[in-house]
A and B are shown apart, each in its own frame.
Chain A
Amino acid sequence: MLSIKNIHASIDGKQILKGLNLEVKAGEVHAIMGPNGGGKSTLASVLAGRPEFEVTDGTAEFEGKDLLEMSPEDRAKEGLFLAFQYPVEIPGVNTTNFIKTALNEKRKYQGLQPLDSASFLKLLREKAALLELDKSLLSRSLNEGFSGGEKKRNEIFQMAVLDPKLTILDETDSGLDIDALRIVAKGVNTLRNESHAIVAITHYQRLLNYLKPDFVHVLMNGRIVKSGGKELALELEEKGYDFIKEELKEGLLLN
């Protein structure tokens, strides 16, 4: 589904990603961990198409198409979804209207008619219930005055409505209390299926307890330096990143 080869990316002339490789197949859940400054959020930005980042080398294909050539909106319409680490507050843009616009733009791209109001509202209610999202939030301005937890749940709610093929969770678990984490994880898991893949960027094991990833990668110095199964996350939780740095020094790892 997603094939990243030798990606190099920079912002303001500063090289952040330095030859990153990642293969994600439909139905898989990948966790990406790593110390701060290693390039985790940059990876999310590069995949979603944030204009400030420049890809200087390498390729990224999404379902066989050149992802890097596409505008952010076309990436979304092709089925990529980024759950933001810091969702943006947009005063004056009504949450329901926003989601309706997003959904119908995607449908238009797919050659489908806009969803009629009744079906749309049914879908909205269903997904809001799944995320235990207070319905009053839907009539408010997008994310404006939402609590941290509400913002994160709103991200997963949007994901649920838009039904992407590939979801990137950028530290969706940060700033969440235990209950909110459980709700968010439940939301993500409900959408898990054979045709949907997830890349979860996280610092902590606790989200992974719910998501049970198929693969765990360590992203450090702009590259994935170690990959393993979910037991790798547990090992990291226990030992920290120092042992990986040691292994790097000893030349035991990839690259």
Chain B
Amino acid sequence: MNTIHTDYLKDDFESLLSAQPDSALNGWRKEGFDNFTKLGLPTLKNEFWKYTGVARLFVKDYGVPGGECTIDESIIKKAAIPGSEDFNQLVIINGKYIPQYSNIQETEGIEICSLDEAAKGKYHDVVQEYFGKSGLFLKDGIYALNTSFFDGAVFILIKKNHTISNPVYFNHIFDTTQNHLLASPRSLVIVEENANVSLIESYCTNGSMDSLSNEVMEVVAKDNSHVEVYRIQNDQPTGSHVGTTHIRQVGKCFVNTVVVSMDGGMIRNNTNVIMEKEGNEAHLYGLYFLKGHTHVDNHTLVDNSKPRGLSNELYKGIMDDYSTGIFSGRILVRPDAQKIDAYQTNNNILISDKATVNTKPQLEIYADDVKCSHGCTVGRLDEEALYYLRTRGIDKDLAQAMLLKAFAEDIVNHIKVASVKDYVNKLIATRLNMED
């Protein structure tokens, strides 16, 4: 079948509900599916999805995961970021958190359970207060689709005054050995006062069929907390991703995010930082280094509603072959957000004539005493620098690789977890045929 179709999802949705009639989350799911039915998949006419025709992925029949998930331990190991053995590892298979495969090293100061469990038990009020608030910002059918089908979602709470010394790592694995897979990973992470945590995500499609992971992670950062979020994408070209990291700074706190996209099919990353308190600080970094036909669309939103916020965004892209890179950065400064600083930069290098890049800054400023800046560049490698290196006896290919590595390192250097940084550097070196 070659037309876009989603009708079959209705049956899948009903079986999902009937399989767990008592879930405390079904209210959200129903609302989600109503919205999805109303909105449908976003088209290119939707300004927010102008460059990414996500609907065209739906020409195939996706299977929606149901029932138990089993997978070989060796696949989990192979999918994991090298050096992640010490991490608090959550194994997420087809979007579902599977505790028996997971390996939580630390128990002090951290609570990890399924969202269902949290919503039913002592975190009922917390879930009620914080879950699903990203829907106020993401009003499209893709978000609604996640809210319809999320299953086996994760709830994480970092307790007051605790520093979680090993990162919390989401090892996402998509099993496509039997069918095309639509996974809907979902998580809610609460970081309480004076707590400190790093969250890492990676994605691995295992099997010969296609996967689409449609993910939403909601992070709530309270007063004086420190949150790092790293999303590393080096999946197969058959693995497509739509992922939202929606961070609410509900207290005065610090957030650092780095999204690295090296490989995959069609990828859309939304990174939203909602600054709800005076003096919030957020750093948003992204690197997309693409080859083949990979398509990566990075959307960021920094929403300032209170004074004296500081945000800094730097996204860099290198596009090879037939790849497409997109950066769309929205900075919203609401009327009360005086004396904020908001910076945004997007630099792109095209190393193939067939590659495409789109860059779109969007500044909406409703306060009058603010410092905002944005800049974007699209170009080729610096010819002067290339010539200089060559006059020192460095071959053209190696000189190019050195310059591209330097360009990418600007982003990689913001990854503060050493093993993740090493891993990304290795991916880059391999891409450039360089010794690390």
Contact = CB atoms under 8 A, between A and B. Distances in A.
Interface in B280-336: none
B409 A92 contact: yes
Contacts of B390: 49, 71-73, 76
Interface string A64-105: 000000011101110001101001101111000010011001
B406 A49 contact: no
A131 interface: no
B394 A92 contact: no
Nearest to A90: B385
Interface stretch (B83-91, B193-201, B204-212, B395-403): B395-403
Nearest to A74: B393
A76 B398 contact: no
Interface string A87-126: 1101111000010011001100100000000000000000
A50 interface: yes
Contacts of A158: 392
B393 A73 contact: yes
Interface residues of B, number: 23
Interface string A39-65: 000000000111100000000000000
A119 to B, nearest CB: 18
Interface in B378-420: 382-385, 387-396, 398-399, 402-403, 405-407, 409-410
A81 to B, nearest CB: 8
A162 interface: yes
A105 B389 CA distance: 11
A254 to B, nearest CB: 31
Nearest to B409: A92
Contact of B406 (A73, A75, A91, A106): A91
A117 B395 CA distance: 22
Interface string A136-172: 0000010000000000000000100010000000000
A46 to B, nearest CB: 12
B191 to A, nearest CB: 33
14 contacts: A50-B387, A73-B393, A73-B394, A73-B395, A75-B391, A87-B388, A88-B384, A90-B385, A92-B403, A92-B405, A98-B389, A98-B392, A101-B398, A101-B402
Interface of B: 382-385, 387-396, 398-399, 402-403, 405-407, 409-410
- The 4 A-B residue pairs whose C-beta atoms are closest, nearest first, are A92-B406, A76-B393, A72-B390, A102-B392
